Amino acid sequence: MTETIVSTETLVEKPATLASLRAGIVSGTTKATDLAESYYARIAAHNPLLNVYLSLTREQALEQAGAIDAAAARGDALPPLAGIPIAIKDVLVMQGTTATAGSAILKGYEPPYDATSVAKLKAAGAVLLGKLNCDEFAMGSSNENSAYGPVRNPVDPERVPGGSSGGSAAAVAANLAVATLGTDTGGSIRQPASFCGVVGVLPTYGRVSRYGLIAFASSLDRVGPFAANVRDAAEVLGVIAGADRNDATSSQLPVPDYAAESDKDVKGLRIGIPAEYFAEGLDPEVRAAVESGIEVLRNAGCEIKPISLKHTGYAIPVYYLVATAEASANLARFDGVRYGHRSAKATNLSSMYRLSREEGFGAEVKRRILLGTYALSAGYYDAYYKKAQQVRRVLAEEFMTAFGEVDAIVTPTAPTAAFKLGEKTDDPLAMYLADIYTVTASLAGICGVTVPCGTTSGGLPVGMQVLGPHFGESTAFRVARAVEAGQSS
Reported as a single tens digit per residue, the pLDDT across 362-398 is: 999 999 999 999 999 988 999 999 999 999 999 999 9
* pLDDT at site 10: 54
Helix (H, G, I), strand (E, B) or coil at 474: helix
Residue 12 lies in a domain: yes
Q: Order across the sheet with 461-468: list the strands.
A: 53-56, 127-132, 85-89, 179-184, 222-227, 199-202, 447-455, 461-468, 408-412, 270-274, 303-307
Verify whether residue 457 is a known catalytic residue. no
pLDDT, tens digit, for every residue of 279-327?
999 999 999 999 999 999 999 999 999 999 999 999 999 999 999 999 9
pLDDT, tens digit, for every residue of 216-259?
999 999 999 999 999 999 999 999 999 999 999 999 999 999 99
Residue 473 lies in a domain: no
Residue 407 lies in a domain: no
DSSP 445: T
CA distance linking residue 287 with residue 290, whole number of Å:
5
HSE (side-chain half, CA atoms, 13 Å) at 73 = 9
Q: What CATH number is given to the structural domain containing 150?
A: 3.90.1300.10
CA distance linking residue 202 with residue 241, whole number of Å:
12
* pLDDT at site 4: 34
Residue 336 lies in a domain: no
pLDDT, tens digit, for every residue of 112-140?
999 999 999 999 999 999 999 999 999 99
Active-site residue (options: 188, 194, 251, 442): 188
Residue 361 lies in a domain: no
CA distance linking residue 285 with residue 485, whole number of Å:
21
Task: Give yes or no for a contact between 468 and 174, defined as CB atoms under 8 angstroms apart.
Answer: no
Residue 373 lies in a domain: no
User: Could you give the number of structural domains in the chain?
Assistant: 1
How does residue 426 score in pLDDT terms, banded at 50, 70 and 90? Answer: confident
How does residue 1 score in pLDDT terms, banded at 50, 70 and 90? Answer: very low
What's the distance, CA 242 to chain centroid?
18
CA distance linking residue 360 with residue 357, whole number of Å:
5
Taking alpha carbons only, the member of 164, 189, 195, 176 closest to residue 240 is: 189
Active-site residue (options: 103, 141, 164, 356): 164
Task: Give yes or no for a contact between 143 and 134, defined as CB atoms under 8 angstroms apart.
Answer: yes
Verify whether residue 188 is a known catalytic residue. yes
Strands 222-227 and 461-468: unpaired
How does residue 489 score in pLDDT terms, banded at 50, 70 and 90? Answer: low
User: Residue 13: which domain range?
Assistant: 2-266
What pTM, to 2 d.p., does this model score? 0.96
Averaged over 435-450, what is the pLDDT? 97
* pLDDT at site 50: 98
Residue 322 lies in a domain: no
User: With pLDDT > 70 as the criterion, what percentage of the chain qualifies?
Assistant: 98
How does residue 7 score in pLDDT terms, banded at 50, 70 and 90? Answer: very low
Helix (H, G, I), strand (E, B) or coil at 469: coil
CA distance linking residue 425 with residue 430, whole number of Å:
9
Helix (H, G, I), strand (E, B) or coil at 387: helix
Residue 325 lies in a domain: no
Rounded to a whole number, what is the largest CA-CA distance in the chain?
Answer: 70
**Rounded to whole angstroms, what are the CA distances from 487 to 25, 302, 315, 462?**
30, 16, 31, 12
Verify whether residue 89 is a known catalytic residue. yes
Active-site residue (options: 31, 55, 89, 122): 89
